Amino acid sequence: MEQLFLTESMHHLNTYMQRIETACAALSEAEIWWRPHQRALSIGTTLLHLNGNITQWVISGLYGQPDNRNRAAEFDNSLQPEKLFLLEQLKQTIGKANTVIINLNEAKLMSAYSIQGFETTGLQATYHVVEHLSWHCAQITYISKLLQGESFNFSFYNTEALNNSKNK
């Protein structure tokens, strides 16, 4: 059962990464950093934040690498790395996280960890990272569709096939 959980967790991390790449593909550098108001997050900020979160929770928290996260810097809008850099950085971080996750066993999943000030287990930490990436993937997708307007040209599901097979 643990192997199924780990495999599914990795599958979801990879799926969300692919969706983020798709949502960002048609956006300009300026659009990556667009915010509707000062308290909202841009896609660029969200990508920085996801990289920090996954690194802290999985690579540091579960694998034991030093935790050098500067969470406040993730939300500093004065630095704006390029879109391709941000996407590649997140993709590499997810790859490292997948290596950690696939090597977890029942003892590590049930072990106690202190991550970002939270007392958690390996299972809860893994679930948190998948859920957190899902949450922000949806935000990135929404912002991308909003910025592209009616010209957006991507979908993660075959709506016609879904409607024909399941929703008659």
Residue 159: domain span: 2-166
Mean pLDDT by 10 residues, the chain (168 residues): 95 98 97 94 97 98 96 90 98 98 97 97 98 98 94 82 71
Q: Which residues of 120-155 are buried (b: 16+ CB within 10 A; e: fewer)?
A: bebbbbbebbbebbeebbeebbebbeebeeeeeeee
Residue linked to tokens 């997708």: 141
Name 77's Cβ contacts closer than 8 Å, sequence gap at least 6. Answer: 33, 35, 42, 45
CATH number at residue 16: 1.20.120.450
Domain count of the fold of the chain? 1
The model's pTM is 0.93
